[in-house]
């Protein structure tokens, strides 16, 4: 029997009004801890709905860009306050909708508040440089200007932070936004957009259209009135979006997968390294693009590290993220649950040894729970060492030297985040120089980015651009070089 805890149906937000899709159809968003529980219903929108939102955004942006940065910033400060007031409700919705534990969901929502305040402040900062001209009677300067309408396509694993770290900079620099959130986290996203509505955002400046990626996401990529598209999600979808946007001359930014290594050198503080492998690899049920999925350990401490790791992973409690005692929640969806189990099977078939966990946990509500899994004897040619699993699976790999560890760490298509645990400055310096990763972390886990710093990866992890911090300005603005002569 289906239980509908939250009976609400969430609408699209277009031109400052909540509206039903022209399809008259809705999709249910379910709780991965209790798949029969409907968290809310969202609109199954059509291409026409998306095009309407883009029209509204185009009109809204014309007025929005005329405001001062300080005025735009004040709107974002208001949204931040409202999000903060609604933090408990939004965090709980997130936990119910995609399974992350409540403390993690609260932390993410608080991060959303901080992101909004950071970019609100940007409205008062420099928007260009004075450049000396070779003509002594002229003034030359650069001025950053908005792009126009920005399409934002987001995943389900950070349903508050990612929509905000893309939308807030887009808005502060004078763009209008059309957001298409992941279907599996669209109720949470709709609650975030309610904060913009309550803050009195001008019509058309921010719009929400929910619906299938293949329909709404695809149309965002195709619609020529959308100047730029920012995306986070899988590699296959990202590559497709990038090609589609590029083909029509648009700007795009892709943040995709990772296969992040954590190198544990003989000389490190082993307990800290164990904690980092667990926190970086298994928090959020391993569903972070920055999660540590390959743990590359030097032979001298391999056995000791493995024993300590198993002892600590044994203590992990798996369950509904709303329960206080839960450390790790369910996989976010049936699809993720099945895909992770498939990888665990493949790992065994390929000859890796499953030394801990990896089994589904029987649950009377049918929650998508898995025991955290640890594989030993993993070699670099195995799928579990090469592909993003996006689940609670750690692959242990043994090496003799730190040089070998770095080579192994680089032997994947991805290059998002990488850590080393070591006290040896030579090892640390060669790691900083030689690792192919956009985020280079020393004695710290691979996950957990800071909102004021550039975020993005190398190789297949990103499209060479960076988001967050000041890097966001590069993507969400273009430049005019102005030459003034009296
Ligand atoms: N880098 C990261 O942070 C993330 C990586 N992933 C990786 O991707 C795997 C699959 O997850 P999944 O949710 O399917 O990821 P997707 O890349 O398919 O989804 C990400 C976003 O893209 C949308 N989308 C889907 N298809 C299209 C399309 N053809 N055109 C435009 N937009 C589209 C989705 O919409 P809709 O939800 O409606 O399908 C969602 O909003 C995971 O197992 C993980 O490996 C997933 C999420 C985040
Ligand atoms: O590690 C983090 O804080 C961010 C991770 C992230 O951006 C992602 O998983 O998409």
As beta bridge partners, residue 318 has: 328
CA of 30 to the centre of ligand 1 (A): 17
CA of 234 to the centre of ligand 1 (A): 5
pLDDT band at 462 (very low <50, low <70, confident <90, very high): very high
Q: Angle at which helices 87-98 and 102-122 pack, to 10 degrees?
A: 120
CA of 258 to the centre of ligand 2 (A): 10
Residue nearest to atom 10 of ligand 2 (CA): 289
Four-way CATH pick for 9-256+462-485: 3.30.70.20, 3.30.70.150, 3.40.605.10, 3.30.1310.10: 3.40.605.10
Q: Does residue 446 line the site of ligand 2, with CB under 6 A?
A: no
Instruction: Determine phi and psi for 444, rounding to 5 degrees.
Output: -155, 150
Residue nearest to atom 25 of ligand 1 (CA): 213
CA of 142 to the centre of ligand 2 (A): 33
Residue 258 has pLDDT above 90, yes or no: yes
What's the CA gap between 160 and 197, in Å, rounded? Answer: 16
Which atom of ligand 1 is the closest one to the Cα of 185?
37
Q: Does residue 449 line the site of ligand 2, with CB under 6 A?
A: yes
Query: Closest Cα to residue 390, out of 185, 235, 268?
Result: 235
pLDDT of residue 333: 98
Q: Are 353 and 377 in contact (CB under 8 A)?
A: yes
Residues in contact with ligand 1 by the CB-under-6-Å rule are 153-157, 180, 182-184, 212-214, 217-218, 221, 232-234, 237, 240-241, 255-257, 289, 336, 339, 388, 390
pLDDT of residue 486: 87
Catalytic residue among 122, 184, 255, 467: 255
How much is the ipTM here?
A: 0.98
Span 59-71, average pLDDT: 98
Residue with tokens 């289906």: 2
pLDDT of residue 273: 98
Which atom of ligand 1 is the closest one to the Cα of 180?
41
pLDDT band at 4 (very low <50, low <70, confident <90, very high): very low
Residue 374 has pLDDT above 50, yes or no: yes
Domain boundaries defined on the chain: 9-256+462-485, 260-450
With a CB cutoff of 8 Å and minimum separation 6, the contacts of 51 are: 219, 223
The number of C-alpha atoms within 13 Å of 352 and in the hemisphere containing its C-beta is 29
The number of C-alpha atoms within 13 Å of 19 and in the hemisphere containing its C-beta is 20
Q: For the chain, what is the largest distance between any 2 Cα atoms, rounded to a whole number of angstroms?
A: 79
Fold (topology level) of 260-450: Aldehyde Dehydrogenase; Chain A, domain 2 (3.40.309)
Is there a catalytic annotation at residue 255? Answer: yes
Q: Does residue 182 line the site of ligand 2, with CB under 6 A?
A: no
- Taking only Cα atoms into account, the Rg of the chain, rounded to an integer number of angstroms, comes to 23
Instruction: Determine phi and psi for 182, rounding to 5 degrees.
Output: -60, 140
Q: Does residue 185 line the site of ligand 2, with CB under 6 A?
A: no
With a CB cutoff of 8 Å and minimum separation 6, the contacts of 103 are: none
Q: Are 240 and 406 in contact (CB under 8 A)?
A: no
Which atom of ligand 2 is the closest one to the Cα of 288?
9
Dihedral over Cα of 396, 434, 234, 367: its sign: positive
CA of 448 to the centre of ligand 2 (A): 6
Number of CB atoms found within 10 A of residue 379's CB = 14
CA of 229 to the centre of ligand 1 (A): 14
Domain pair 9-256+462-485 / 260-450, same fold: no
Order of all β-strands in the sheet with 26-31:
9-10, 34-43, 26-31
What's the CA gap between 48 and 52, in Å, rounded? Answer: 6
Query: Contacts from 124-132 at CB under 8 Å and sequence distance 24+?
Result: 124/69, 124/70, 124/73, 125/69, 127/69, 127/477, 128/479, 131/481
Residue 216 has pLDDT above 90, yes or no: yes
| Model confidence pLDDT, tens digit, residues 11-51 | 999 999 999 999 999 999 999 999 999 999 999 999 999 99
């Amino acid at each position: 029997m289906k239980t509908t805890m939250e009976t609400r149906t969430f609408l699209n937000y277009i031109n400052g009004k909540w509206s039903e899709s022209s399809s008259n159809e809705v999709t249910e968003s379910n709780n991965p801890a209790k798949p029969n529980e409907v968290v809310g219903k969202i609109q199954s929108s059509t291409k026409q709905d998306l095009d309407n939102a883009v029209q509204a955004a185009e009109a809204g942006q014309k007025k929005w860009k005329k405001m001062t940065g300080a005025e735009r910033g004040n709107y974002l400060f208001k949204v931040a306050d409202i999000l903060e007031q609604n933090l408990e409700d939004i965090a709980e919705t997130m936990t119910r909708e995609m399974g992350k534990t409540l403390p993690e969901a609260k932390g993410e929502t608080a991060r959303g508040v901080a992101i909004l305040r950071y970019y609100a402040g940007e409205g008062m900062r420099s928007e260009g440089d004075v450049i000396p001209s070779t003509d002594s009677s002229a003034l030359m300067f650069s001025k950053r200007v908005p792009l126009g309408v920005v399409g934002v396509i987001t995943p389900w694993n950070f349903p508050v932070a990612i929509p905000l770290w893309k939308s807030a900079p887009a808005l502060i620099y004078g763009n209008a936004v059309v957001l298409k959130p992941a279907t599996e986290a669209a109720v949470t996203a709709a609650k975030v957009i309610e904060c913009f509505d309550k803050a009195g955002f001008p019509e058309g400046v921010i719009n929400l259209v929910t619906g299938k990626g293949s329909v709404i996401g695809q149309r965002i990529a195709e619609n020529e009135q959308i100047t730029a598209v920012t995306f986070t999600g899988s590699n296959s979808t990202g590559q497709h979006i990038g090609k589609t946007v590029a083909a029509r001359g648009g700007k795009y930014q892709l943040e995709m997968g990772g296969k992040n290594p954590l190198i544990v050198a003989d000389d490190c503080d082993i307990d800290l390294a164990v904690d980092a492998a667990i926190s970086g690899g298994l928090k959020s049920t391993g569903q972070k693009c920055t999660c540590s999925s390959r743990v590359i350990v030097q032979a001298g401490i391999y056995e000791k590290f493995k024993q300590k790791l198993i002892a600590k992973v044994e203590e992990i409690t798996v369950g509904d993220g709303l329960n206080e005692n839960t450390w790790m929640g369910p996989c976010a969806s049936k699809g993720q649950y099945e895909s992770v189990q498939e990888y665990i099977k493949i790992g065994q078939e390929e000859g890796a040894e499953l030394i801990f966990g990896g089994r589904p946990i029987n649950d009377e509500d049918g929650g998508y729970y898995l025991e955290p899994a640890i594989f030993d004897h993993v070699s670099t040619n195995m799928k579990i060492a090469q592909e993003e699993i996006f689940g609670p699976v750690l692959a242990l790999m043994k090496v003799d030297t730190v040089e070998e560890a770095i080579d192994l760490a680089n032997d994947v298509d991805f290059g998002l985040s990488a850590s080393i645990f070591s006290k040896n400055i030579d090892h640390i310096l060669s790691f900083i120089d030689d690792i192919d990763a956009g985020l280079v972390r020393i004695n710290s886990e691979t996950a957990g980015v800071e909102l004021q710093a550039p975020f993005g990866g190398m190789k297949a992890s990103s499209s060479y651009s960076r988001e967050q911090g000041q890097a966001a300005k590069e993507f969400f603005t273009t430049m005019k070089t102005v030459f003034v002569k009296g």
